[in-house]
Amino acid sequence: MAFSLSERASGVLLHPTSLPGAYGCGDLGLEAHEFAAWLRGAGQRWWQMLPVGPIGYGNSPYSAHSAFAGSSLLISLDRLAEEGLLPRSALADAPRFPEGRADYPGARAWRERCLKIAFQTFKNRRADQTAFEVFSVQNQFWLEDFALYAAIKRSRRDLSWTEWEPELRARDAEALDRAGHALREEIEQQRFEQFVFARHWRALKSRCQELGIGLIGDVPIFVAHDSADVWAHRELFFLDAQGQPTVIAGVPPDYFSATGQRWGNPLYRWRELEQSGYRFWLQRISQMLERFDAVRLDHFIGFQRYWEIPADEPTALRGRWVPGPGAKLFEALRKAHGPLPLIAEDLGAVTPEVTALRDAFNLPGIKLLQFAFGTDPQGPSFLPYNYCRNSVAFTGTHDNDTTRGWFEKLGETERRAALDYLGSEGRAIHWEMIRCVWASVANLALAPAQDLLGLGSEGRMNLPGTASGNWEWRLAPGQLGSEPQERLRDLTRIYGRRAR
């Protein structure tokens, strides 16, 4: 089934780790399939997720250890049992994990134990070996580096690659050969985990296709410093002789932070990327378009210009704007893939040049209703009467407070402006905001699952500029029931966004 961002439709933002489940965080198992069916019952067309790579610093999906690998936390242990790779008895003594939040350390420890058992069974399953080898060959361009990186990292108690022995840090050929031999079993374990992640992903995507649900993924513009990508391709990044960044990514002071955001990601050497024909980015987008039906480009403004911060600066204040690759990159992507099913996350310091780049490739931009009622000078552009059809409208995103939490913290002037615009008394502000977004002319309307439930700040997914306590929110079993489903279905019907 083909999905188009130019069709009038709607959907829900919910990361898979936020699904309920028995093993510490949500995954690609039964609850994911049930949520896809819930979306269908609500008349929705799209399911948006955050990045699905192996999470890194602060448990952030935007700091993944690989731009290509999938997170082993998302592998379904129950599906492994159904596939005969994991005995049911191995799941019988699962720890008691908390409900309502993801326990990443506990989930990781438990799942690693179960995945090792599954791998030992897998090695003796001849029926799976051909498919495994085909997968390994098709993904060799990233899989070999990632498996070796992950194996070395695990054998060195999760140290960053810049803290490994100098010869491994520098990828000395003999040192890599020795590590590959010594860690052969762990390397195969990592390849196996990527193989089963891909298999479970295909099963979920196939079910979503049957239900008429398109998947929206997320590509961070930058990659994490402690990642297989930076370790394996040091020539593509501004690093010193020890592998440390000389300049890093971030944004100047903005809506979220008075001192800006110091992300810490190493910056690309765009000239070297251009000389390679943007091979890294072509491979990255190609894989994402295999996993997803559309892709959100995080921090789109960085493709036109980005904020370069000296690595020794403690905040993002002392940075400078540097030109990005601009149209050259997107011409290469369009040549490889044709029309690009990409969403430009164009929030922040938007300039006419950013808008021109977005429009030159017919990419929908993002509109956030919460931003319409504050002090942001761009606030009027987020009022629905200023939307264009080729846009994606949200109540809020993973970086915002929930709509109810946001509303409860508003000053009196902003609160009155919001209520006057919505024609509301504020008793169910989350549904009034959803109604407003769904009624807009934007082709695509999206809301976080937390807003469907009217949750307060306890449901917030991420607070930019903070390093801990984020990405942990989860649905409790049965929390997303029939009442919000029916209400969302009615709004979707009223405003002409119903799935075909």
List pLDDT tens digits, range 106-158.
Answer: 999 999 999 999 999 999 888 889 999 999 999 999 999 999 999 999 999 99
Decide: 369 and 395 in contact? Cβ < 8 Å: yes
Residue 179 lies in a domain: no
Please give the tally of structural domains in the chain: 1
Is residue 399 flagged as an active site residue? yes
What are the tens digits of pLDDT across the range 306-362? Answer: 999 999 999 999 999 999 999 999 999 999 999 999 999 999 889 999 999 999 999
Radius of gyration for the chain, computed over Cα atoms and rounded to the nearest angstrom: 22
Q: Strand 294-298 to strand 444-448: parallel, antiparallel, or no bridges (unpaired)?
A: unpaired
148 assigned to some structural domain: no
Phi, psi of 471 (to 5 degrees): 65, 15
Within a domain: 108:
no
Q: What is the pLDDT of residue 500?
A: 61
With beta carbons less than 8 A apart as the criterion, state whether 316 and 252 touch: yes
Note the pLDDT tens digit of each residue in 178-229.
999 999 999 999 999 999 999 999 999 999 999 999 999 999 999 999 999 9
Residue 107 lies in a domain: no
Which residues make Cβ contacts (< 8 Å) with residue 58, sequence separation at least 6? Answer: 467, 468, 470, 471
Q: Which of 128, 399, 401, 451 is catalytic?
A: 399
Whose CA is closest to 48, among 65, 64, 63, 61?
Answer: 61
What's the CATH number where 52 sits?
3.20.20.80
Range of the domain at 428: 9-69+211-494
Question: Active-site residue 31, yes or no?
Answer: no
* Among 287-301, 352-366, 376-390, the least confident range: 376-390
Q: What's the CA gap between 241 and 292, in Å, rounded?
A: 37
Let me know if 298 is a catalytic residue. yes
Residue 436 belongs to a domain: yes
321, containing H or E segment: strand 320-323
HEC letters along 16-58: HHHCCCCCCCCCCCHHHHHHHHHHHHCCCCEEECCCCCCCCHH
Q: Of these residues, 345, 346, 401, 472, which one is catalytic?
A: 345
Put simply, whether the predicted model's pTM sits higher than 0.85 gets the answer yes
CA dist., res. 136 & res. 146, Å (int): 12
In a domain, 204, yes or no: no
Q: Is residue 253 in some structural domain?
A: yes
Of 27, 298, 346, 472, catalytic: 298
The enclosing H or E element of 290 equals: helix 279-291
Report the distance separating Cα 500 and Cα 498, nearest Å: 6
Assess if residue 88 is contained within a domain: no
Comparison of pLDDT for 255 and 172, the residue scoring more: 172
User: How far, in Å, CA of 417 to CA of 302, rounded?
Assistant: 32
| Structural element, H or E, at residue 305 | strand 305-310
